[in-house]
Chains A and B, each alone.
Chain A
Amino acid sequence: MSFSSFSDFVHMGGQGPFVWSAYGLTVVVLVYNLVWPVVLARRHAERVRRQHPTEAR
């Protein structure tokens, strides 16, 4: 562990804003890349279902 306390960890020796904004933005971009395909897949599946309603079996 390279920090002695949690507030040290957050503070990052005065460079907290730089470090945390870089990591925060990374999380946003990575999450977007995982969530958006799920939204697309649902939307596309819905479109297929609407165009080809399944026959009553």
Chain B
Amino acid sequence: MWNWFHRLGSPRTFFEISGRLLPWFQAGSVLLLVVGAVWGLAFAPPDYQQGNSARIMYVHVPSSILAQSSYMMMAVAGAVHLIWRIKLADVALQCAAPIGASLTFLALVTGSIWGRPTWGTWWEWDARMTSTLVLLFLFLGIIALRSAMEGREGAGRATAVLAVVGVVNLPIIKYSVDWWNSLHQTSSFSFTEKPAMPAEMWLPLLVMVIAYYLFFFTAWMMRMRAEILVRERRTEWVKQLVSA
């Protein structure tokens, strides 16, 4: 078990395994993104109150889910790095941050664009939006902290601590719509109840959420592979790989 754990933690093993998985993830995510977007844009019914602006849901909801989910995965990588000192976990943390930041940005801006025709405002300093903005600052803070610190060891540990501490923001985002009066609606989905929308709407949404997860793993693997080339540049296998 430990042997397996450490072998998987080796950058070289990761590089080999991810190289084999990557084409499938790339093809799968692009395919599902296209299917989900066409379904949501052209075939799903308009909302009976909002009309066609509700189609923004198919890009807004998955980016919001992945913004939070990618933070959680990044924080787990940080914890693994702090506890077991696995270098690959540090690579994972570093590479998840810019992707997470871009998805959080996307969630905020698509939400703003959706808010204008629906609520009549681009922005409101309410709990859901403010806590999501804090999430963006956490991602940016992690990127800034990494680039501000000299020495990979110390920078890795410092960003890992920040990532783990920042997890406290996730339940705040999740329950913000229940704890405070918010313009933002409460969740339409849970594991225990039927979705509060017809299947013609939640099916394309489900496709988009799966597509975004695949997409995140694709982008994450690609960034990690690029980072490994730098960190392992003195090893024989990388020298051989790039000269091939």
Listed in ascending order, the chain A residues whose CB lies under 8 Å from chain B are 1-3, 9, 12-16, 18-19, 21-23, 25-26, 29-30, 32-34, 36-38, 40-41, 44-45, 47-49, 51-52, 54
Contacts and interface: CB of A to CB of B under 8 A. Distances in A.
B22 to A, nearest CB: 10
A19 B53 contact: yes
Interface of B: 26, 33, 37, 41-46, 51-53, 55-56, 59-60, 63, 99, 102-103, 105-106, 109-110, 113-114, 116-117, 215, 218-219, 222-223, 225-227, 229-230, 233, 238-239, 241-243
Contacts, number: 106
Contacts of B218: 34
B219 A15 contact: no
B218 to A, nearest CB: 7
Contacts of B26: 34
A36 B56 CA distance: 26
Nearest to A49: B242
Given A26-B106, A44-B230, A19 B33 contact: no
